[in-house]
A and B are shown apart, each in its own frame.
Chain A
Amino acid sequence: DVKVTQSSRYLVKRTGEKVFLECVQDMDHENMFWYRQDPGLGLRLIYFSYDVKMKEKGDIPEGYSVSREKKERFSLILESASTNQTSMYLCASSPPALDLWGFFGPGTRLTVL
């Protein structure tokens, strides 16, 4: 079974802190994604990566950065956390084919106080 794991299920941080969210997948997938999910808004793409050291901005990249130094690991960084970044963060990985698109991790519920 494909497994996508995220470093924390719940996280509470203070405004202005630097926050690291880590995601690891074990299926050798090229593509990895970070989304945030908010009630009524659905999933919105923050960043994605289609190869090691490659990254592309999604729809809402402001206030975030990413790092992909190894194929299996994709990190999301909040440079200076703000209260409007309180959300559920979901990581996903996918193979190139669309037949099985999107293996998601369990999510990290981040609260910024």
Chain B
Amino acid sequence: EDQVTQSPEALRLQEGESSSLNCSYTVSGLRGLFWYRQDPGKGPEFLFTLYSAGEEKEKERLKATLTKKESFLHITAPKPEDSATYLCAVQAKTGGFKTIFGAGTRLFVKA
């Protein structure tokens, strides 16, 4: 069964304290892995798509990497405005357009 597990559930950082969020996945042939940011009371906002192991993508202070079993979202020198829930999701080659989401990691960055 296709599955996505995110850890930790919550992460508290000081401003400038770099860290990583983990997304472990089990899927029968990966078509794509997605990262989203979700602010309270809003819909998720697309960040990245990764397709194959070894791929990396960057956007401002965020960098997403992918292995055959995991993806990491590295946050470098975070700011309070980076506080949000970060969601990981996968799409399998055989699942049509069905996308499976993890439960998310809630990130709090304190000034």
- Chain A residues in the interface with B (C-beta under 8 A): 4, 31, 33, 35, 40-45, 48, 50, 56, 58-59, 90, 92, 94, 98-107
Task: Number of B interface residues at 8 Å Cβ cutoff, please give it.
Answer: 25
CB of B98 within 8 A of chain A?
yes
Decide if the interface of chain B is mainly helix, strand, loop or mixed. Answer: strand
Asked, given contacts A45-B99, A104-B44, A107-B41, whether A98 binds B49 with beta carbons under 8 Å apart, the answer is: yes
- Chain B residues in the interface with A (C-beta under 8 A): 4, 31-32, 34, 36, 41-46, 49, 51, 87, 89, 91, 96-104
Q: Which residues of B contact A44 (CB under 8 A)?
A: 101
Contact B103 A48 (CB under 8 A): no
Task: Jot down 13 A-B pairs with beta carbons below 8 A, ordered by A.
Answer: A4-B43, A31-B97, A35-B101, A42-B4, A42-B87, A42-B101, A42-B102, A43-B44, A44-B101, A45-B100, A50-B97, A101-B91, A101-B99
Asked, given contacts A101-B32, A101-B34, A101-B91, whether A42 binds B43 with beta carbons under 8 Å apart, the answer is: no
